Amino acid sequence: MALRIDTFSNQTGGNALFKALGHPIGAERLQALIRKLAGQGPVAIYDPLGFLSTMASLHDLSALKTAGVYVQDLADLGQTRLGRPTQPVTDIGASSARAVLVAAFDAQRFVDHIRHLLPAAVTVATLDDARLPDELLTNRQRYLDPLNFATNFAFFRDRERLHTRLVTANYWSGYGAKDVSLWLALFDAAGTRIATWTQAVPDGIAAIAIDSRDIRRRFDLPEFTGQILVHVVNGRGHDVVKYALDTYSDPALANGASSLSCTHDANAWPSNLYAGLPAPRADERVVLWVQNSHCCPIPAGAIGLNLMGDDRVSWLEEPVPAFASRELDVAALLPKARWPQQIEIQAGKHFVRPRYEVIETKAPHAGRRRIAHPNVEREDLKPDPHIAELGNLMGKGYLLPAPVLPVSRWRSTALPTPMATCQKELPIAAIVYDKDGREQARHRFGRMKRADSVAIDAETLLDGASLGAPGADWGHMELLYDLEGGGEADGWLHGLFRYESKATGHAAETSFGAHIFNTVLTYRNEPQSYAGRAPGLSTRLYLRLGPPPLDTLCHLIYPASTPWRARSATEFALHDRAGKEVARRPVAIPCGGSLFWRYREQFGQTDRARAGDGAYVIVRDTTCRLFGYHGLIDDQDRFSLDHMFGF
């Protein structure tokens, strides 16, 4: 029951059509147009670009009395659309239509081509009647320009002393954008739009923060749990809306249930499958937030869960209204699932990359929670036999780096996660490095089957080996392919990484995928570049800073598939809310090593005071690609951690 919509292609990028048809304003206008046409009698539909299937997936067209479906391309003749065989548009004059709908945007050209063919006295409508207002468009000349639909969803909650804060920066200005603004819509759990507003963004790489407490006060809202749609107007360079999302509790909950967590952006293109959802431990609940990204309901039986490697799917037998949010307890569908098992999500393209929440159930920390996200599971990959040959030129090739936080204070756990339907086995190894890039431990998983879920603890692997003095005993781990004993690889290697405070048990987790790092040779568009052609051999990472009394932590890793520059030439540039640089600090990270640091350690009180609230740091390096993780921390050992984003 997956939606018949095209969302994203690894060759061509994101598809703007489903966003245009499903945008809250566009959807309202299109539904009004459908009602108007339904009252005019038989409607002939001209579908020159094949948009009708997407339109019918997102909107109920049953009220239309269809007089025929007509196409331009002879290759489209004889197909079934809206239950009717397609006909050549040259036959449209013989229809009984009282109205004609041209299923295209920027449609004047298509109308002009067929005007002389139309039945007499018909009304002509096009999808242009459902366009967004001009003030929401970046490119008014080409409606389906992806920059017109630079949108993304974010989980958003303000209830029971739990809050959310979305933080990003005007990185579009770095590509020459001017007069950037945000159009924002907040939906409650039922999918009702309870607030709509616009927010101007200063020119320059200025900070952007949207806090649920402020929005609730501004619009005098009751408690809510739902999602916020962020639409960027006048962006350039990126049609992807990237952000960090902090979830936190009131200071009044500074007891065992006090929460602090963060997660990455939602990935704006709905997928058919997601994976990497962890099963709960015996003392936990795991909740998947099913948040409908579309203007149409999710039917009952369209969303399901199954254990990875097990084809038996348990389905959610209730509908989810348009733009609504549903709290799905994993145990309700998979009662026997237990960590470290992992769960596959049958999503049917109904929502963008979802959030999940892990909630502790036993005293003294009952109610404490953390939030993270699964990842897109790809269906288009096949094993690549050439990856086994990369070692001659690419060294370690694809590798997935993740922090090993100071061992004296935290536990660092890794769980490899299958993330493509072709991955029937995972022949991988894990290596633990100290801060200077020296290998300290290695674990060979062997050729794990798809259903295998094996979590490893970095401290156990070290088996007494030291990463440094207490407090400075950090390093990092890498997951990479281990093909000496055979097996298949496709380059889409993923893992989930969990971190727990030894003092309090407070935890955070994050997940990501492998890339090739820091080699001038390229393979399949790797090393990845944020802008332009591969290889990506430089760094620009955004580090949001927490409001006092929270401090900010950052773990930077200098991964290298082959030996690269011996030390990084990294700079931390501190900016105030308006984007003005306040201070700069140089650091050098050994190739293959890492740096774990805190904001208050790198920048003194004077610089922090000059930067003020809303400040941020840009991590910049023109000599190598760094991989970063960021989080917040307080004096009670509450902390958050997730991977950083760049631009």
Q: Which residues contact 364 (CB under 8 A, 6 or more apart)?
A: 255, 256
Same domain flag for 410 and 316: no
| pLDDT at residue 254 greater than cutoff 60 | no
Rounded Cα–Cα distance for residues 30 and 130 (Å)? 5
Domain edge (last residue) among 240, 261, 282: 261
Confirm whether 158 is domain-assigned: yes
Sort 643 into a burial class: Cβ within 10 Å, 0-12 / 13-18 / 19+: buried
| pLDDT at residue 589 greater than cutoff 70 | yes
Same domain flag for 218 and 338: no
Average pLDDT score, the chain: 95
Task: Tell me the two tokens of residue 77.
Answer: 């003749």
Q: pTM here?
A: 0.96
If one compares 611 and 548, the residue with the highest pLDDT of the two is 611
Same domain flag for 521 and 573: yes
Q: How far is CA 588 from CA 147, 556, 565, 600, 627, in A?
A: 37, 11, 11, 18, 14
Which pLDDT value is given to residue 548? Answer: 87
Q: Which residue's structure tokens are 């994050």?
A: 510
Nearest to 494 by CA among 554, 533, 544, 448: 448
Same domain flag for 590 and 522: yes
Which pLDDT value is given to residue 572? Answer: 98
Same domain flag for 222 and 297: no
> Between β-strands 494-501 and 475-481, what pairing exists: parallel, antiparallel or unpaired?
unpaired
Quick one: pLDDT band at residue 257, thresholds 50, 70, 90? confident
Which pLDDT value is given to residue 625? Answer: 97
Which pLDDT value is given to residue 627? Answer: 97
Which pLDDT value is given to residue 111? Answer: 97
Stretch 36-52: mean pLDDT: 96
Same domain flag for 255 and 277: no
Same domain flag for 488 and 592: yes
What is the number of residues in the chain? 647
Confirm whether 3 is domain-assigned: no
Stretch 332-360: mean pLDDT: 97
Q: Which domain holds residue 21?
A: 8-134
pLDDT in tens, 507-547: 999 999 999 999 999 999 999 997 789 999 999 999 999 99
Which pLDDT value is given to residue 342? Answer: 98
Which pLDDT value is given to residue 532? Answer: 83
CATH classification of the domain holding 38? 3.40.50
Same domain flag for 502 and 614: yes
Quick one: pLDDT band at residue 80, thresholds 50, 70, 90? very high
Quick one: pLDDT band at residue 11, thresholds 50, 70, 90? low
Confirm whether 615 is domain-assigned: yes
Confirm whether 361 is domain-assigned: yes
Same domain flag for 187 and 249: yes
Q: 487's torsion region: left (phi>0), alpha (psi -120 to 50) or beta?
A: left
pLDDT in tens, 126-185: 999 999 999 999 999 999 999 999 999 999 999 989 999 999 999 999 999 999 999 999
| pLDDT at residue 371 greater than cutoff 90 | yes
Which pLDDT value is given to residue 86? Answer: 97
| pLDDT at residue 421 greater than cutoff 60 | yes
| pLDDT at residue 12 greater than cutoff 70 | no
Rounded Cα–Cα distance for residues 332 and 304 (Å)? 11
Same domain flag for 88 and 152: no
Domain edge (last residue) among 73, 104, 134: 134
Confirm whether 140 is domain-assigned: no
CATH classification of the domain holding 235? 2.60.290
Same domain flag for 612 and 636: yes
Rounded Cα–Cα distance for residues 62 and 503 (Å)? 60
Alpha carbons within 13 A on the beta-carbon side of 444:
7
Confirm whether 1 is domain-assigned: no
Q: With b meaning 16 or more CB within 10 Å and e meaning fewer, what string describes 267-303?
A: bbbbbbbbbbbbbbeeebebbbbbbbbbbbbbeeebb
pLDDT in tens, 268-300: 999 999 999 999 999 999 999 999 999 999 999
Lowest average pLDDT, out of 175-179, 240-244, 255-259, 606-610, goes to 255-259
Rounded Cα–Cα distance for residues 77 and 85 (Å)? 8
Written as one string, the DSSP assignment of 314-383 is EE--S-B-TT-EEEEEHHHH-TT--TT-EEEEE-TT-SSSPEEEEEE-STTSTT-EEEE--EEPBSS---
Task: Tell me the two tokens of residue 593.
Answer: 């090593």
Number of structural domains the chain divides into: 4
Sort 69 into a burial class: Cβ within 10 Å, 0-12 / 13-18 / 19+: buried
| pLDDT at residue 636 greater than cutoff 90 | no
Nearest to 258 by CA among 501, 521, 518, 77: 501
Quick one: pLDDT band at residue 392, thresholds 50, 70, 90? confident
Domain edge (last residue) among 88, 111, 134: 134
Same domain flag for 392 and 458: yes
Confirm whether 454 is domain-assigned: yes
Which pLDDT value is given to residue 253? Answer: 60
Confirm whether 139 is domain-assigned: no
Stretch 585-600: mean pLDDT: 98
Quick one: pLDDT band at residue 390, thresholds 50, 70, 90? confident
